[in-house]
Structures are given as C-alpha cells and as structure tokens.
Copies of this chain bind each other. A is one copy, B any other.
Amino acid sequence: MNEDLLRVRQASRCLTTVTQESINAVLTALAERTMQRQAELLAANARDLERMPDGDPRHDRLMLTPSRLADIAADLRHVATLPSPLGRVLSETTRPNGLRMQRVSVPFGVVGIIFEARPNVCFDCFALCLKAGSACVLKGGSDAECTCRAIVGLIAGVLRDHHLPETLVHLLTTHADTDRLLTAEGLVDVVIPRGSRRLIDHVRHYARVPYIETGAGVVHCYVDSDADLRKAIDIVVNAKTRRVSVCNALDCLIMHRDRLGDLPVLCRPLFDKGVFVEADEEAYAVLQPLAPALTGQACADSFGTEYLALRMAVKVVGSMDEALEHIARYGSGHSESIVTESEAAASRFLREVDAACVYHNAPTSFTDGAQFGLGAEIGISTQKLHARGPMALEALTTYKWLIRGNGQVRP
C-alpha cells in the first residue's frame, strides 16, 4: 500500500548523482513556468477559494494572486542562487593506521512535509528539498487540494523536461495519508510538520519515522530591574504587536517588581493597539485603573498559553531567579528575551534559559530564517535533536562518514 512512497524513495536515489547546476536549472525553469502558467494556477486556486466559506480566517492564507505568484517565482530564483548545502566536508582526519576519514554533508533522501492551507508551501518545500538533494512528499490541507494538485503538476512537468523522475515530488491529500506517511518506516527519512499544535501533537503520537517538531511558541520577555525603559517599550510592543498570529509573538511579559511603576508607561502603547492583558495581582492593581476594559485578572491558564492574538499575560517577579523559574516552567523552548543594561544579568539569562533563541535587548520577532541570514527557512524547530530554531538548507541535510583505506584491518 506504500508503493507510491517506494517510488519516491527510488526516485530520490538519482539525486546522489545530479549536479547542482541541474538542480538550479530546474528551480529557474520552475520560476519561469509559474509565471507562464499563472492563469491555470489562479483558476485552480479559485476552485479552492469557492469551497471555503466567506470570512473564514484561512481565506487569506489560501489565496494566490499574480503578485504572490511573482514573489514565489522570485523565491525560487533566489534558492537557485544559494550555495549548495551538500558535499561540505564537516571534519577530516587521517588516523594513525593510515585510514583517511571524512564526514561529508549528504541529502536526507526523502523528506515529508505536512502543512495546512498555504499552497505556497508546495513551492517552498519542493525547492528547498531539491536544493538539498532530497525528494519530498507533500501532505497539504484538503482546503487547498486543487491548488496543490496544480502546483505539483507544474513541478512534475518541469522535472520531466529536465529528464528527472516526476516522483521527486509527491502529493498526499487525505487524513489516512498523513498516518501512512508517519509510519512509512524505511521509506521516509524525516517528517516536518508545519502547523498547529494539534498537528504537532498528532505527529508525536503516531510517528514511527523521525520527525522534527516545529512551531508552537510560548514566548516571554523579562524586563529586568536594570532595563532601559525606552528599549523595553520598543521591544515589547514589537514582539507583541508586529504580527500576532506568528509563533515568535510575545505571550507573557515578566516584569521585575522594582520597575512596577514603569508598567503603565510600558503597557500604554499596547492598550492603544487593543492588546488585552491578563495580569497577575500586582500588575492588575497598576494596570486596571489605566485600561479597565483591556485588563483582566490572570487565571491558571494565563501562563503557558500561546495566544496568537492581541492578548498577553503579565507576571511580576522579585528576582532573576523567579523569572528564570517561570520561563523554565511555562516556556516552550522557542524564543525568550531579556531587557537589561546589566551585562551580568544578560549573561546569566543567555546562559541559563533553555530555548532555541535567547535574546538580549532585542524582540523575539526576529526569530525567522531570513532575519538570521539563513537564506530560506523550512520551519522553526522547537526540539533539540538535529536542528533548533530557524531551519534552512543545512538542516535539510545529514552526513555520512567516508573511510578510505588500503587494506588495513582492525587488530
């Protein structure tokens, strides 16, 4: 029943001998074809959009437009210009017995991506996987099925024109397919789920193949007793309100008690943007008079929640220890930040907080592959195995050891 995945696995083997020039040619041709076939892609997308109820918040994520297609084509051309992540010699040594050993970056083989509505993920993931020498299996949301089919059809055509197997990209569409992918031991080398916490939980429960957890971020900003107030305001406002629906958005402001008096000034611009605050007792006393309609009392669920909305928690602490304790307990290991002018406090926070990205005097909104200078991002890992934080081409490779001898044997 996994014959389709077996074909993908077999196709992936051809990539060990394909040159980066061919790969880049495919990506460039795909960019061109995407622009030529706009009408076809938009028509398929229109069919998906029609099926979605008006006012559904996913509408915007699902929609393709001529300008979005132009962006996609530009991204494809950009990936073609990036250096290859393959064939990097990660370490090299000659042993006393004369064996020459190299550790060299190589493709995964077959990468599975499970995603929700956004059809542009098909282009992104195919491009990054191909650039990293892997075939990809794409499981898209059923809402985007027509669009995904049209995109994968387009990609298959370009592969065919370049004398490469069409099965280097494979689309799955049903829930049953998701579980088939997650249990395809020996056929899929890694699965990357991109989406809601529910999806990630499902993967954690059902996967028998390796996977990388992505996404869910319960994000804190700790305003230390030695914080610069101006920086704190800029950082907190940016982290909370730049885009509320993304995983790096702020969920909980932790305020040192010494600075409780600054809390109204700090929260004023948040209230102005309509942010609702779930405040602990001390913070409530200070904020409620300022914005009665936008201040509530924190409950048990206020902490450890990823809000993804104009809403956040505020917690007052008496020391760095308490702040670290709160983050260790409620953080999800995604992004955490401290605002302070004290080098000692900053060093301690950077050392002791256990998260993918730890910031000093900068907002967590920077947690993003492009902002990190990684070129192109396939997701943000919240696990510690293999890759942590923004993942780009390098994270889509593994390595192998090459050992060259001359007939040596082991005593």
Binding site for B on A (CB under 8 A): 13, 16-17, 93, 95, 99, 101, 106, 108-109, 185, 189-190, 204-205, 208, 210, 212-213, 228, 230-231, 234-235, 237-238, 242, 328, 346, 350-352, 354-363, 365-366, 371-373, 383-386, 388-390, 398-410
A399 to B365, CA, bound (A): 20
Q: Would you call B99 and A403 a contact (CB within 8 A)?
A: no
Residues of B within 8 A of A351 (CB): 16-17
Q: Sample 18 A-B pairs with CB under 8 A, ordered by A number.
A: A13-B354, A95-B372, A189-B384, A190-B384, A210-B383, A234-B409, A238-B410, A350-B404, A354-B400, A357-B403, A360-B403, A362-B405, A362-B407, A363-B409, A363-B410, A365-B410, A384-B398, A389-B400
A210 to B204, CA, bound (A): 9
* Interface hub of A16, A231, A356, A410 (most chain B Cβ within 10 A): A410
Q: Would you call A235 and B409 a contact (CB within 8 A)?
A: yes
Q: Contacts A384-B190, A407-B228, A407-B230: A389 and B401 contacting too (C-beta < 8 A)? A: yes
Residues of B within 8 A of A389 (CB): 400-401
Q: Which residue of B lies closest to A237 (CB)?
A: B409
A358: contacting residue among B185, B402, B409, CB under 8 A: B402
Excluding A366-B408, A385-B385, 18 further A-B contacts by CB distance (< 8 Å) are A16-B352, A16-B354, A17-B352, A93-B373, A99-B362, A101-B372, A212-B385, A234-B407, A235-B409, A237-B409, A350-B402, A358-B403, A359-B405, A360-B403, A366-B410, A372-B401, A388-B400, A390-B401
- Would you give the shortest CB distance from A232 to chain B, in whole angstroms? 9
A340 to B114, CA, bound (A): 43
Residues of B within 8 A of A190 (CB): 384-385
Q: Would you call B360 and A404 a contact (CB within 8 A)?
A: yes
A174 to B95, CA, bound (A): 42
Q: Which residue of B lies closest to A190 (CB)?
A: B385
Q: Would you call B354 and A109 a contact (CB within 8 A)?
A: yes
Q: Would you call B13 and A328 a contact (CB within 8 A)?
A: yes
- What copy number does this chain have within its complex? 2
Residues of B within 8 A of A355 (CB): 400
A95: contacting residue among B101, B212, B237, B373, CB under 8 A: B373
A362: contacting residue among B360, B400, B404, CB under 8 A: B404
* Interface hub of A208, A366, A371 (most chain B Cβ within 10 A): A366
A217 to B99, CA, bound (A): 21
- Would you give the shortest CB distance from A385 to chain B, in whole angstroms? 4
Residues of B within 8 A of A388 (CB): 398-401
Residues of B within 8 A of A350 (CB): 402, 404
A14 to B131, CA, bound (A): 41
- Would you give the shortest CB distance from A284 to chain B, in whole angstroms? 27
Q: Contacts A358-B402, A385-B190, A389-B401: A407 and B231 contacting too (C-beta < 8 A)? A: yes
Q: Which residue of B lies closest to A349 (CB)?
A: B402
Residues of B within 8 A of A390 (CB): 401
- Would you give the shortest CB distance from A291 to chain B, in whole angstroms? 23
Residues of B within 8 A of A407 (CB): 228, 230-231, 234-235, 361-362
A113 to B360, CA, bound (A): 35
Residues of B within 8 A of A385 (CB): 189-190, 210, 212, 385-386, 398
Residues of B within 8 A of A357 (CB): 400-401, 403
Q: Would you call B363 and A406 a contact (CB within 8 A)?
A: no
- Would you give the shortest CB distance from A408 to chain B, in whole angstroms? 5
Q: Would you call A208 and B205 a contact (CB within 8 A)?
A: yes
Residues of B within 8 A of A403 (CB): 357-360, 362, 366
A356 to B106, CA, bound (A): 10
Q: Contacts A190-B384, A384-B210: A405 and B16 contacting too (C-beta < 8 A)? A: no
A407 to B235, CA, bound (A): 7
- Would you give the shortest CB distance from A328 to chain B, in whole angstroms? 6
